[in-house]
Structures are given as structure tokens and as C-alpha cells.
Structure 1
Amino acid sequence: MTLSTLALAKSAPMIPVIVIEELAHAVPLAKALVAGGITTLEVTLRTPVALDAIRAIAAEVEGAVVGAGTLRKVADVAACIDAGCQFGVSPGSPAALMDAVQEAGFPFLPGCASPTEAMVLAERGFEVLKFFPAGAAGGVKMLSSLASPLADVAFCPTGGVSLKNAKDYLALPNVVTVGGSWVCPPDMARAEDWAGIERLARATTDALG
């Protein structure tokens, strides 16, 4: 599980955190991101249509690697796998959820915000963790401080990450990718500005490599 999760995280310099409010937007939004060079997509479980959106993207968007974010309950694991998710992400790491993830062999980025949480998750076998909320939890300075004592742990900082500071995070030896929402602003999605979202995705891939 951890190897596939690590490989997935290393495959893209950023993973977009996507909130889909209307099911009809799922496929064109995902296609715009893929066309712009961003293929690993995290659709958060924050709206009633999230699972159906994931199911549609998995079935209809060639080249997309679609996962789910904001998993909070044990039941979310089976629901996401059933919807076709290829990975999952959580804001925190309650033990019951981590047990369910590992029992299912589900590629997963569990959330942490402290050295203790990172150590516990590393001991359980998770090699890449979501550092959240990155900006509020110390940002680049915090992750830089963890690089030496927790050299075997990789991070995906999310929360307060933008195109302006993404390179600062990616320059750290313990950061393999970043998460952010700047490539899919809600107002652009509501306006169905798929061309604009594709341009944001392309600008991001050009900037981050």
C-alpha cells in the first residue's frame, strides 16, 4: 500500500483539492485539469454529489487518476473504493480509519500536523503523509525541521499552499508533492470556465515541472 501511495505522490508535483458542487461539472472539470497536465485528482467528500462525481470521472476521463479527500469515517473507505477511487486522503488520522484503510490495502495519505502524529503513522507503515493545515502548522519551517529527525517520512503539505509558495515546499527533501485548490476556483467552476481552469492547470505544471 505505502509503495503505491508513495509512487502516486511522486508522480505529480501537485494534487488539486477539488470541491464539486454540481455533478454535471465533474467530467468537464476533470478533463480540463488533465488537458492542462494535472492528472492526479483529489475530489473531496464535502458535497452530496462527491461519490457520484468520482464514479463519473473514473469512468469517463481518460488519463485521470481519481481519489477522494476528506475521508473521516470507516464507512468512507468502502464507499470510495466502490466508487472507483484509486487513493484516499484524510485531514487527520483516527485509529479506526487507519485500521480500515490498511485492512483494505487502500493507497492513502493520512493527515498529520505534529511530529508525534507523523511518528505514529510512520510506525504503522505510512511512508507519505498529508501535512495539514500546512500554513497554520508551521509551513516550510516546520517541515524543514522534521526533515532530519524523520528522514524516512515524506509529506504532501496542504492548506495554505499556493502557486507562489509551492516551490518553497517542493524544494524540501521530505516533500514529494503539494496539495492545493488554486487550479480549480469555485467561481470558475460555477461559471463553467473550463478553458480558464485548463490554463491555470497548464500554468501550474509549467511552473512546478
Structure 2
Amino acid sequence: MSEAVVWPSFKRDLVAILRGVKPDEVEAIVGALIEEKFEAIEVPLNSPEPFRSIEIVARAFGEMAFIGAGTVLSTEDCARVADAGGKLMVSPNVDPAVIEMASLRGMVTLPGCFTPTEALLALRSGASALKFFPAGSLGPAGLSAIKAVLPRNAVVGAVGGVSETTFVDYAKIGVRTFGLGSSLYKPGDGADEVQANARRAIEAYDKVFAAG
């Protein structure tokens, strides 16, 4: 097994999930997110022409943020993301082969899990951080119970059913990493709308975590 790639020291541990974004709009939308200080951008592979979108934004913003893909389900797709310039691999599940491929390509990994078994397997497989999904179903209480059996240094993220309105609830259990999807971007949203959503999320995060 290759050595795990360490989760970056982001000022704000927020991953923007742009599910459904199109190549002809992605540069403006990601530009708006980066202007609001987002440092991690995910284009799910079930979006239209996702590899093209990743290539566009990696070329434009790859020095300013971790650009990558979500819903990565195979080693082949993982390699394609890396070839397109992606540095972030997010998945809805724990597939040791996919995590291994991403690590070999130097990518930060955020595999999805829901149980202690899956979380510990992900860590053994070299995950940079853990994506508890759908976190809204677990809730802070459920996630807190699972965190109790994980290594203290494990980076735990909440994705699915979370927004800036729930940061404070997860902060109480020591979670400061979040993936934001529909609260940030929905298909059809323009760059101005996304920027307003991003600003609101950043302000809420800073209020809770004193990141500013």
C-alpha cells in the first residue's frame, strides 16, 4: 500500500460540491468560489462532461485550490481525474483500489463511509480524510459515537444534509470539515448566486470556528 497523502491545512475545511455543473459555466462558478476563499472544489463525475470541466478549472485555478472529482468509483476514472489535473479524489464509498490509485498519483482522498467498519477500512487503505455520508442521517450524535472509536488524528468530514446552518452542531463534537452541495450550488445557478451562497457559508464558518 502506498503512503497516505496528508489532508491539507486548509484555512477553512470546506469542499464545494458542484454536482451537475457544465463545462461552459464551470470556470466562472469556480472563480466565484475561489474569490470567496474556498480551497477545495469537487466536480462529481455524474456531471455533464466532468473531465473537461476538471481540466478547465485545474488549468485556471490549480495553483490556488485543490481541484478534483467526486463520485469516483473506479481506478480508471481516478487516473483520468489525475490526468486532467485533479488533486482531490472524493468517492461515496470505500474502495481500497481507488484510494490506492489516488494516493499513487499524489491525490488527496476523501472516501465516503457511514459505519465504523467502513471508516477504519478507509484509514487502513490510506485515506487522507473520512467523508461521513449522508451525515444528515447520522446527525451529530451518531457521528460523535463513531468518532469515539476512530484514531484521534483522523480527519472527519460531514457531507450530505449539512449546510452553514448546521456548522455549530457539528463543531460541538469536534468536526470542522464539510462538503457543501445544494446549499452552495444547484444546476442552473449562476456565478453570482453561487458567490452569494459561498460568502454566506464562509461567514458562518468563520463565526463558528474563528477562522477569519
Question: TM-score normalized by structure 2?
Answer: 0.86
Q: Deviating runs (4+, > 4 A) in structure 1?
A: none
Q: Which residue of 2 aligns with 1:67?
A: 68
Q: Which residue of 2 aligns with 1:101?
A: 102
Deviation at 1:20, TM superposition (A): 3.9
Gaps of 5+ in 2: 207-212
Deviation at 1:46, TM superposition (A): 0.8
Deviation at 1:45, TM superposition (A): 0.7
Q: Which residue of 1 aligns with 2:198?
A: 201
Identity %: 28
Deviation at 1:75, TM superposition (A): 0.4
2:19–2:186 CA contact under 8 A, matched in 1: no
Q: Distance in 1 between matches of 2:129 and 2:74?
A: 20
Partner-residue secondary structure (3-state), 1:7 = coil
Give the number of aligned pairs.
201
Q: Which residue of 1 aligns with 2:46?
A: 46
**Which deviates the most, 31-40 or 117-126?**
117-126
1:13–1:208 CA contact under 8 A, matched in 2: no
Give CA deviations for 1:125-160 in whole Å, capped at 9, x if unaligned. Answer: 335111111112x12111111232214322111111
1:45–1:51 CA contact under 8 A, matched in 2: yes
Gaps of 5+ in 1: none
Deviation at 1:70, TM superposition (A): 0.6
Q: Distance in 2 between matches of 1:35 and 1:104?
A: 28
Q: Is 1:179 paired with 2:176?
A: no
Q: Distance in 1 between matches of 2:20 and 2:59?
A: 16
1:184 is aligned with what amino acid?
Y
Q: Distance in 1 between matches of 2:37 and 2:100?
A: 34
Partner-residue secondary structure (3-state), 1:160 = coil
* Distance verdict in 2 for CA 1:36–1:51, change over 3 Å: same
2:116–2:149 CA contact under 8 A, matched in 1: no
Q: Which residue of 1 aligns with 2:210?
A: none
2:5–2:126 CA contact under 8 A, matched in 1: no
2:114 is aligned with what amino acid?
A
1:204 is aligned with what amino acid?
A
Deviation at 1:167, TM superposition (A): 2.5
Partner-residue secondary structure (3-state), 1:41 = strand
2:134 is aligned with what amino acid?
P
Q: Distance in 1 between matches of 2:80 and 2:109?
A: 14
Partner-residue secondary structure (3-state), 2:37 = coil
Give CA deviations for 1:11-32 in whole Å, capped at 9, x if unaligned. Answer: 4232111124421101001011
Q: Which residue of 1 aligns with 2:132?
A: 131
Q: Which residue of 2 aligns with 1:33?
A: 33
**Which deviates the most, 124-133 or 65-74?**
124-133
Deviation at 1:49, TM superposition (A): 1.3
Q: Which residue of 2 aligns with 1:77?
A: 78
Q: Distance in 1 between matches of 2:194 and 2:58?
A: 19
